[in-house]
Structure 1
Amino acid sequence: MSEQQAASDVLVSFRGVQKSYDGESLIVKSLDLDIRRGEFLTMLGPSGSGKTTCLMMLAGFETPTHGEIRLGGQLLNNVPPHKRNIGMVFQNYALFPHMTVAENLAYPLSIRKMSKSDIEARVKKALDMVKLGSLANRYPGQMSGGQQQRVALARALVFEPQLVLMDEPLGALDKQLREHMQLEIKHIHETLGVTVVYVTHDQSEALTMSDRVAVFKDGIIQQIDAANVLYEKPVNSFVANFIGENNTLHGEVLAVEEGSAVVRLASGDTVKASAICVNRAGEPTSMSIRPERVRLNQYADACENRLSARLSEFIYFGDHVRLRLEVAGQHGFMVKVPVGELDSRWKVGDSLNVGWMSHDIRALDSAVVSH
């Protein structure tokens, strides 16, 4: 792809964007980010990490302290929200209670001075898309939370914006409905090809829905990648711990060679790992390994790294069981075992062998936890 093509493929760009509310502390620090046309990008991070502030600057409800935000090449910094042609979906739905569903959807079209027949056609199409065609004459107060959220979604899409922003839109729904709506939104995105920027602190939601996920911490994107890359190849200990379940083993690097590190644990055991954030002997490191990558007993025999462990707890999850182990003097080490591989003779207090391949464990930064 040529540079020109790559540039035309970008719908939104942040360049050197900073945001401070008090002139001193930066909520967003020198953000550079390109969002591609048609992609579903999720901004993920804990409270206060800057993700919602980025969304609000893109929507026009906040102004960058420094830097530029462009949409389709146009500088947005001084464009008011209602002139940005961006759809928005919030957690609290923000529907007009005195208007019917159809009137709520017609509102953004009528302020764009569309003809009555165009408005009717678009409202019908949008309601059919969210499977609410039969409820056009109801008022928001007569609908469930899930139905109201569908109306809010339809209203954000009805004027066919090039960009839709969603701020924790499913946060108020119960688990089952939330999971159902995640798939609905994903399918609507695939059908329409509209660009979506989605904000959440729910990592499973981010992994389920997104083409790419930007992981925020302290106003900085730590890593931006496809969900499977974030999960399998976190670039630092924050991402490893924030995305999915993770086991951490702390140690000191003994040697680094050709992308591999040998690490000594506090117990004296040594482990071979992929060297990600370590360069030389003597460095402290925290190593990351996913619970499903760990093998037990006879399954551990073929692994490069083998340690002994003590079984502390069984946690039953239906299709699999999680075992909490003490490994190398560290508690809370989790292993996922499919029900079919569980040995019925195992009991709390037993010694088990654990093992994993060196490419499945990543030697990251030392993860000094700051509070």
Structure 2
Amino acid sequence: MVPEVVPDTEVLVSFRGVQKSYDGESLIVKHLDLDIRKGEFLTLLGPSGSGKTTCLMMLAGFETPTHGEIRLNGALLNHVPPHKRNIGMVFQNYALFPHMTVGENLAYPLKIRNFSKSDIDAKVMHALSMVKLEKLAHRYPAQLSGGQQQRVALARALVFNPQLVLMDEPLGALDKQLREHMQMEIKHIHDSLGVTVVYVTHDQGEALTMSDRVAVFKDGIIQQIDSAYNLYEAPVNSFVASFIGENNTLEGEVQSLQDGLCQVKLGDGIGLTAKAVCADRAGARTTMSIRPERVRLNGASEQCANRFQGKLQEFIYFGDHVRLRMDVAGNPSFIVKVPVSELDGSWSVGDSISLGWNPEDIRALDPLNP
């Protein structure tokens, strides 16, 4: 992936040619070139073992790059110890001192930075007010709920006004409802303070909800770094298309290319037209990607350039919509999303239903199984 060019005045953190190996042989991070902009909320997203947490740990100072440079505001960080980097850190397990009160936990990073007592008291109360815990300053961590402990950990990371805050799966231990509430709370705090946040998660919904940009990792390499909208609507390869959101795939062979579109023959001989993204030559194998909500059914499909018959296999109810699992062009797990208000009550499992989509809605990408 070619790194984008960002003006130096906008860059807070830069990775250049960064690699990381723990055994001297296999690379966990293979070659990272990345600029993190001042004030942005950047999420590192990927499956376990993809290298995202290792990148965060190198930025925090808990790991050292095997090769390459990491700079903060232009200053080389590679061998600067963690406590001298002016970086706040929030962990999944909170990492609060159990023998200290909430107020003492927040005061600790200020004391080691030699703030005066009056400044410490003012900054602690201000940080607690940001997370709405002013009344709990004298409690101990064990007397708090998981959500309250995570708020304390967030306040402690912000209390000394760091230029950068790193968050490593900070909401992973919370239940779904609380996690979603904390996502919005963290995003609102970020918006109000303007601090730069680098956030690590394997939860794609969390990444899409909170981030200005998302870097999608696989096997130690960033596959795509972009806005949530572009990652979902314009994935650059099959991994990103499959990892971000729900996705239907169809396998085929490129027959011809013209004006940014390609003609593709599926395994059963049926042809369709797709947007040529990775497909660059006739005869190449391609995996095509189409989102479930882009598929049109029955009468709505009549004006679509690509039309098929699908066999209805299953109804999956999701409250505001129903997902229809269908057998389409050799894919027995093809999903179509239908709002409940548009569901045809006459449909039954086993029915043959007309469906279709437009060429710009299906992307011809690299083969998932080359």
TM-score by length of 2: 0.98
Residue 73 of structure 2: aligned partner: 72
1:182-193 → structure 2 map (5 Å cutoff): 182-193=183-194
The secondary structure found in structure 1 opposite 2:18 is: strand
CA distance in 1, matches of 2:33, 2:257: 32
Q: Which moved more, 1:147-156 or 1:263-272?
A: 263-272
CA distance in 2, matches of 1:334, 1:4: 38
Residue 340 of structure 2: aligned partner: 339
The secondary structure found in structure 1 opposite 2:29 is: strand
Aligned residue identity for 2:252 = G
Residue 18 of structure 2: aligned partner: 17
Q: CA deviation at 1:276?
A: 0.3
Residue 157 of structure 2: aligned partner: 156
1:212-251 → structure 2 map (5 Å cutoff): 212-251=213-252
What runs of 5+ residues in structure 2 fail to find an aligned partner?
none
The secondary structure found in structure 1 opposite 2:32 is: strand
The secondary structure found in structure 1 opposite 2:7 is: helix
Is 1:8 paired with 2:9? Answer: yes
Q: CA deviation at 1:275?
A: 0.2
Q: CA deviation at 1:266?
A: 1.1
Q: CA deviation at 1:170?
A: 0.1
CA distance in 2, matches of 1:268, 1:330: 14
Q: How many residues align?
A: 367
CA distance in 1, matches of 2:6, 2:166: 25
Residue 83 of structure 2: aligned partner: 82
Cα distance change, pair 4–217 in 1 and its aligned pair in 2 (3 A): closer
Q: CA deviation at 1:217?
A: 0.2
Aligned residue identity for 1:366 = P
Residue 209 of structure 2: aligned partner: 208
CA distance in 1, matches of 2:47, 2:320: 29
CA distance in 2, matches of 1:191, 1:357: 41
Moved over 3 A (4+): none
The secondary structure found in structure 2 opposite 1:190 is: helix
Aligned residue identity for 1:250 = E
Residue 179 of structure 2: aligned partner: 178
Q: CA deviation at 1:349?
A: 0.1
Aligned residue identity for 2:205 = S
Q: CA deviation at 1:329?
A: 2.1
Residue 48 of structure 1: aligned partner: 49
Is 1:350 paired with 2:351? Answer: yes
Is 1:263 paired with 2:271? Answer: no
What runs of 5+ residues in structure 1 fail to find an aligned partner?
none
CA distance in 2, matches of 1:4, 1:141: 47
The secondary structure found in structure 2 opposite 1:137 is: coil
Aligned residue identity for 2:233 = E
Q: CA deviation at 1:4?
A: 11
The secondary structure found in structure 2 opposite 1:69 is: strand
CA distance in 2, matches of 1:269, 1:247: 17
- CA deviation string 1:12-68 (max 9, x = no partner): 000000000011100001100000000000000000000000000000000000000
Residue 93 of structure 2: aligned partner: 92
Q: CA deviation at 1:267?
A: 1.8
CA distance in 2, matches of 1:5, 1:349: 54
Identity fraction in percent: 75
CA-based RMSD:
1.1
CA distance in 2, matches of 1:40, 1:86: 15
Aligned residue identity for 1:368 = N
CA distance in 2, matches of 1:353, 1:190: 46
- CA deviation string 1:308-334 (max 9, x = no partner): 100000000010000000001221000
Q: CA deviation at 1:280?
A: 1.1
1:274-353 → structure 2 map (5 Å cutoff): 274-353=275-354
Equivalent pair of 2:6/2:35 in contact (CA under 8 Å)? no
CA distance in 2, matches of 1:205, 1:8: 29
Q: CA deviation at 1:81?
A: 0.3
Cα distance change, pair 48–4 in 1 and its aligned pair in 2 (3 A): closer
Residue 33 of structure 2: aligned partner: 32
Aligned residue identity for 1:323 = L
- CA deviation string 1:191-244 (max 9, x = no partner): 000000000000000000000000000000000000000000000000000000
